Amino acid sequence: MSLISVLIWLPIVVAVSLGAGWLFRQTLIRLVNAPTAKFLRTAPLTASFGMLTITIYVTCAVFAPLIAPFGESEILSASFEPWAAPYILGTDNLGRDVFTRLVYGARNTVGIAFLITALAFVAGTLLGIYSALKGGIIDQVVGRLIDVLMAIPSLIFSLLMLTIFGTSVISLVLVIATIDSTRVFRLARSVALNIVQLDYIEAAKLRGESTVYLITREILPNATAPLAAEFGLRFCFVFLMISSLSFLGLGLQPPTADWGSMVRDNAELISFGDITPLIPAGAIAILTIAVNFVVDWLLHRASGLKD
């Protein structure tokens, strides 16, 4: 595709995407109750497009067996069949339907990324708030251990751990969740340090409230906004990490459909001018952009800033 064609089609694609986001937002406003509708009206077109995109991805993940025309690992034809019925995106290096594996990839890649992010946030948030609340030697010891883990590049550490413990889904989840929880710990601790110095925390301590009460009822509700924004960003990083590891052969293992491995399996088609390998890569990029659009909107609202 020439540069002139890109310049012609790009504004059209952007306009159609934003228009679809606006229609999706208007539809949601008519379906939900009044307070939620008032909240949705504040969403910019970029956030509306992000919500639409996330909804499409979640729908594909949940209803993958109904949407996909073939089985996830079913070998149907010769390798690298061109785009034509019944294989609307052709076949891969083993003769499997690319569209089918793209749909199942949404379930596997996005679902596991969400699980990892949730585990990392539970561990990192609780440990970070606990460390800030207790302070002293506990805070110092935990903080230095986290510094050691953060000093190692994430991708290299993941490759090392997966090489040692194997490339099963459980190993993948635990390794990436452990690595990512260190980043969550730093944010949660920083936010909690500002909160634990406030008067109402001291008053709760004087009342004899337990540590669990202080964390869940006093500190955590007041740290929700930055943690919610960080959840979206962490999800993007985890999502990209899984795809990177799969591309390198240490992520989700065959025959499980995964967008990173799909790029690797079909990479040689690039030499022949075939854009099939760019489709799963584009799916990764679009979801990352969509999540960031929604996170930016939510963070802007939580900050109390005005347009």
What is the full DSSP assignment across 121-173? HHHHHHHHHHHHHH-HHHHHHHHHHHHHHHHS-HHHHHHHHHHHH-S-HHHHH
pLDDT band at 199 (very low <50, low <70, confident <90, very high): confident
* pLDDT tens digits along 18-52: 899 999 999 999 888 888 888 888 889 899 999 99
Across the chain, mean pLDDT equals 85
* pLDDT tens digits along 117-127: 999 999 999 99
CATH topology classification for 73-282? MetI-like fold (1.10.3720)
For the chain, domain boundaries: 1-62, 73-282
Distance CA 229, CA 238 (A): 15
Tokens linked to 188: 């949660």
> Do residues 266 and 93 touch, judged by C-beta distance below 8 A?
yes
Please say if the pLDDT value at position 6 is more than 60. Answer: no
Name the DSSP class of 250.
Answer: S
pTM above the 0.75 mark?
yes
Going from the C-alpha of 156 to that of each of 49, 99, 239, 248, the distances in angstroms are 34, 32, 16, 12
User: Distance from CA of residue 288 to its chain's centroid?
Assistant: 7
